[in-house]
Structure formats: structure tokens, C-alpha cells
Amino acid sequence: GGVGKSTLATEYAHRFHQEYQLVWWVRAEQTASVIEDLAKLAAVLTGRTDFDHADILTVLQSELAHCEPWLIIYDNAQGPAMLRDAWPDGGIGHVIVTSRADTWADLVNDTITVEVFSHDDAITLLQARTHDRDYLSSAEVADQLGRLPLALVQAAAYVTQTKTTLQHYSRLIEEQTGPMLATAPPSDYDSSVATTWSMSIAGASARARGARELLIFCSYLAPERIPRALVPEHAVHLPAPLSEIAADPVGYDFAVAALTQYSLLSADASHLSLHRLVQLTVRLSLPESEQLAWSATVVRVLSRAFPQTPRDPSVWATCAELTPHILTATAHSSQLRSMEPTGDLLVRAGAYHVARDFLGPAANLLQMALREFEQTEGADSLDVAAACGQLAPVLHKQARLSEALMVSQRAIRIKERLLGTNDPSLIDDLCRLGGNFQEMFRLEEAEDSYQRALTITENTYGVDDRRALPVLGFLTTLNARKGKLHTALTLAERQLQIDAAASGDPCDRATATVHSKLGTVHFLRGEYAIAKVHKSRSLDLYTALDGAESYEALRRRGALAEILVALGDTRQAIELANQAIHGLTRIHGGDHPDIATDLRVLGIALLADGHPEEALAPLEHSVAIYEKFYEKDHPYVAHPLVPLARTQLALGDAGAAAVSLARARRIIKKRYGTHHPEYADLLTAESAVSLAAGDQTMAKQLEQEATAIRDAARKS
């Protein structure tokens, strides 16, 4: 740290900017800041701010091709893992990464180790900046500071601002080194900067009241893009004298100016920034009691500054800007074992990331909140249960089903003990638990959870209350999964009646889900035109509510694509399936069962459109993803195996088709039985194989059996 990596990248951009159409800087210390800065780039390139920020990378890959050549700088990246999914590949350009890590060989072409200045360069810098030509004193200061560029710049700033000499500064270093290094610094901390900044801080403090306290406050935040208005807007919650100068616009500006004059801080009209080594030096200079007090102060200010309704798109810009500071401030709080509560703040930050479909950061924030509540409230508190309730659906979306199951069960146990077994707050947790059981194909346990949730709902709110809709929706899906299509349809129609009877026209997520469930059931019953109406309505509602690239809208797009295949509109189906796959890949960051579902649909659409050679890869990929996330005989593995067999048959590989069907038959008979619609689909595929082999009698028999199973399912 402080060797000049970021400065070198800045200088390169400055010298060669005319060779690029675009130069952009990305703060890469945290995932949140990477997302925020790439979102701003997408806004600049498109001239729009109305696109869904969850689609940032998609927009960039397209737009960068029109800005060739371009330069993107990722500054202070922790390692290649966090940048792999944010790596640009649109058009021709260059990427520069600055990092203290040296494990970049698999992502970048060239790595350069940045060393401290040579002896001569260190002297040249000091003399150029101070206009002090005393060679011996310059050399002495350079050696005292280990020729670290950042420390040399700070030393020169001190000499310039105090109108002293390098010889005088050298004597001060000798006098101050002992006290400044009395606190044992971390192993990767360059101690040469400690003395430098102690004198600069003293100089800035003498020049402007509150400057030292402002620097301390900023030292517990992320180092870059600190909102300049954060301190003035929350002056009443700050200790004196910072509260006093924060309430005085002139005094605050003078404090900022004093810190910038000593190169401790950089500032523009909107933001403040400082080097992380400045922050570390400041924190290490404080006694533990002051560290605790300032850490708590920063957390309290952020708690008041972070929006209370983080799912509201109108506050997302504020949430994005504050999230890196929340991560930093809560990390300091945890390290210091502060008693200042951070759980609620972390939950709100997690809720923002859930709303944006940033599932990885959301899970991390909610897990941090859970640990915080465990430490401050106890392992069996209602706050812990609430955090579990927030975390479980995120883990479920990530296909981390075992973890989601345990988290849901923990929330239920805590609430049952503290609130009783029939408390309404259990309803959502029971539905989440049932959802996990259902995905793990533990269908009877899923039904028990859903039925218990429905009983509590009806006993609490009545049988026709809209709050019953989500529970009825889960039961609809479960019965459809079990092949009880008449029961599923009855439940779905009951939801529609309850929703229609509600006062006004809610048209919220519950309404969108009702139409989605109806679309699914009608599709499974072979009523494709009706299915299209309901699934389209659901897609339109989710698009209006959350945006076209939101998780829920993307899922419905893929489901609608499968209906369109059945209706013969294969080209539109292919387009929708590709959109869903692309969007969900961005959200999940790679393979995921959600993507496998739409790869299967894409394969079916391509096959129906007369392109079996193109259908083969997505279907094989779908099988591979399901095998990766579930056991080898999970029912989901069988779903793409049947259309894969059809595709293999269309390509003339009857042997491979027979193998795929044999495997699908084993799974379906074991997990669904021989009276399930999935078994009917298998028989239809086997009928096609028999027909290709010239056995028309067997083909007809199999198709008749499949029809009988489907007819029975529609009545069950």
C-alpha cells in the first residue's frame, strides 16, 4: 500500500487518453462499488438511466463495441474472483487492474510489480515538490520513509504547508517515530507513513477546527466516494467539535480544505476520498476507547442515512452509494467488538441487494446480519429468526437448498418457542420450508408445511383473505408437481376468485403470481391458449412492477416460451428463452437450475423449429447443470433427458436416444410413478423411437397409454 499503483494507472490514463474513445475508472475494492461504477458507465454510454441496473454487463458488452478502443481501470481489486464476472469483452480495448494480490495470471496477460522509488527518484520528488535543494536532508528523509511514494508526497506536503525545510522535517521524524509506532501495526502496514501523517494531521488541525475529527470519521468508511453531504446532513448525531463545524457550511468547507492542503484528503463538490493507509494510520493513533466511540458514531450515522425502504427503486442510487461504507463500517465494528447494533442496517442493505437481484452480495450481507444478531441478541432471539427469514429465500434462489432448509427450520423453531405454534409470523417461514422440501422432492413434507401455513392463515385472517394467496399458490404448484392437475386447477381458480373479489384492482406481485400459477396448470392440462393468456398477464405485471430484466420477469419469460412452442410460435419462443437464459446467467453469475430450465425450453423450441443440431447443446447443458446441483436421479435430471432423446433421434442417433430414454424412465418411474404426466411425456418419446424403428403397433400403443395418463391427470 502506498507504493503508487493507482497513481501509475492514473498517469497512464492521463498520458494516453487520446488513444482511447473511452476511459473509465472502477473502484474494485468491493463488489458493491464495482457494480455502482459499471452502472454509471452504462448510463453514460446509453444516455439513459431507465434501464434495469441488473442488466449492467449486458448493456456494457453491447455498448463497448461502439467505443473502440476503450480503457477500463479496476483499482485496488482484492483478487481475480470478484472481477471475473465483471470483465468486459465487448469490442477492442485494454484493462488495467491495480491490486496488492499477485494471483492474476489466469485473467490478465501481463503483471507488473511496482517497487518503491529508487534513491535518486525519491530525492528528485522531494526536491521538486518542496523546492528545497538540500541534497543531504532530502536523502535522509527519503531513507527514513523507506522511499515509499505516498509517504514522500505527504512529507513534501507538510514541508510546503508549514513553510519549513526538509532538514527540519528529518528532525521531526526522529522525534515522532517512537510515539507513533508504539501501537503494533498489522504485518502489511508500512510504518514509514505513520510519522509522516501524524505531523500532517497536526498541521491540518491547527489550520481548521474539526479537521482531525472529520478525518477520523472518514477513516471508518470506505476510502473512496464518501458522500460530502453525509457529515452535514447528520451533524446532530456527531460529537463536538465535528458536530459544530458540520452544522456550519463555511467551517465544514474550511476543514475539508485544510485536509486537502496537507494531501490527507481529496475532495470535489460531491465526494471525499482518502488513501486507506491514511485511514489505517488515523485509526491506529487512537486509544481503544476512542476507536470504539468513533466506530459506533459512524454506524449510527449510516443507519440514519441508509433508506428505510430499500426495495423502492427511487432510493437505489443512495443504497448503492452507501453500501461500500456500510460494509467497511460494520467490519470495523465487528473487529472492535463494538456493542453498537449493526444488524438492522445490514438487513436493509441485504434487502436492497435482493431487490436488485444481486444474490451473492445479498446473501453475504444477511449472513453478516445474522451473526450480528446472534452476538448482540442471543442465538434464539426474534431478530435472529427474522434474519433467517430474510436469508432463506436468497439461499433458495441460489439453489443452496440444504442451507436454506436449515435456516428456515431454525426460524420456525425460534418463533414457535417464543410466540407459539400458531403465530401468523410463521406463515412465510412454513412456505419457505415447504418450498425447500419441494425442490428436494420431499413432497409429503412440503405438503405438511403448506397445509399448516394455510391453516394458520385461514384461522387468523379468514378463508377469503388475499393473504392466503401465496400459500394457495404453493399448494397449486405442489399438486401440479404431483400430477394432480384438477386439484391444482381448483386451487388456482380459488386464488383468482379471492384476488378478483379484493377491493380495487391490486395488480401486485400476488396478482402476478396467481396468473402465473394458472398459466402453469393450464399448460400442463394441454390448454395452451388459456395458459398463454395467464402467463402473459403475469409477465406483464412483473415487468411493470420490477422491470423487464428482474428475476421474476425473466422466469416468466422462459415459462411463456414453452407455451409458445406448444402453440407453434417457435421463433418467438426461441427469442424469449434466449432472453431468459442471458438474464438469469447474469443474475446467478454462471450455471444454475433456473438456467437449466430455460436451456431445456430453448432446446425444445429449436427442435420444434427444425434445428435439432442446434437443440443438442442446450439440452445436454441442461442435464449437466441439474446433475451438478442435484443428485443423479433427481426428477429434474429427467426433464431435459426426454427432449434430448427426441433430438438425438432427429439427428439419426437412435442408440443415444434409447440410452437417454432408458435413464429418464428409471428416474421417472422411481420418483413420479407410472401415472404421472411426466411418464406420459416419456411414453410419447418412446412412441417416436418405436415409430422410427418401424414398429407402428408399439408406437400406437405407447401413445394411447400416454393419452390415458394425461386424461386421468386432468381429472385428479
For helices 401-419 and 426-439, what crossing angle results, to 10°?
150
> Which residues, other chains included, contact 715 with Cβ-Cβ below 8 Å and sequence gap of 6+?
486
Dihedral sign computed on CA atoms, order 238, 239, 240, 242: negative
Cis peptide before 635 (omega within 30 of 0): no
User: Quick one: pLDDT at residue 186?
Assistant: 44
What is d(CA 402, CA 371) in angstroms, rounded to the nearest whole number? 19
C-alpha count within 13 angstroms, C-beta hemisphere, residue 627: 13
Report the C-alpha gap between 54 and 512 in whole angstroms.
21
Closest among 406, 459, 425, 404 to 629, alpha carbons compared:
404
Closest Cα to residue 58, out of 549, 397, 544, 597?
549
Phi, psi of 72 (to 5 degrees): -120, 130
Q: What is the pLDDT of residue 713?
A: 85
d(CA 307, CA 312): 9
CB 422 within 8 A of CB 382: no
Copy the grid coordinates of residue 115: 517497487
- CA-derived radius of gyration, the chain: 31
Three-state SS for 193-256 is HHHHHHHHHHHHHHHCCCHHHHHHHHCCCCCCCEECCHHHHCHHHCCCCHHHHHCCHHHHHHHH
CB atoms within 10 A of CB 418: 13
271-273 and 266-267: which strand pairing? antiparallel
Instruction: Tell me the pTM.
Output: 0.74
Consecutive 10-residue averages of pLDDT for the chain (716 residues): 86 94 91 84 80 70 85 90 79 88 80 89 95 94 84 86 91 62 44 66 88 96 94 95 94 94 87 84 88 96 96 91 94 90 95 90 94 92 96 94 96 97 97 95 95 97 94 96 94 94 75 95 96 96 91 95 97 96 86 94 96 97 93 90 95 93 93 90 89 88 92 88
Which residue type occupies 281? T
Can you give the pLDDT at residue 471?
A: 96
What local confidence, expressed as pLDDT, does residue 182 receive? 36
Q: Distance between CA atoms of 193 and 31, rounded to whole angstroms?
A: 28
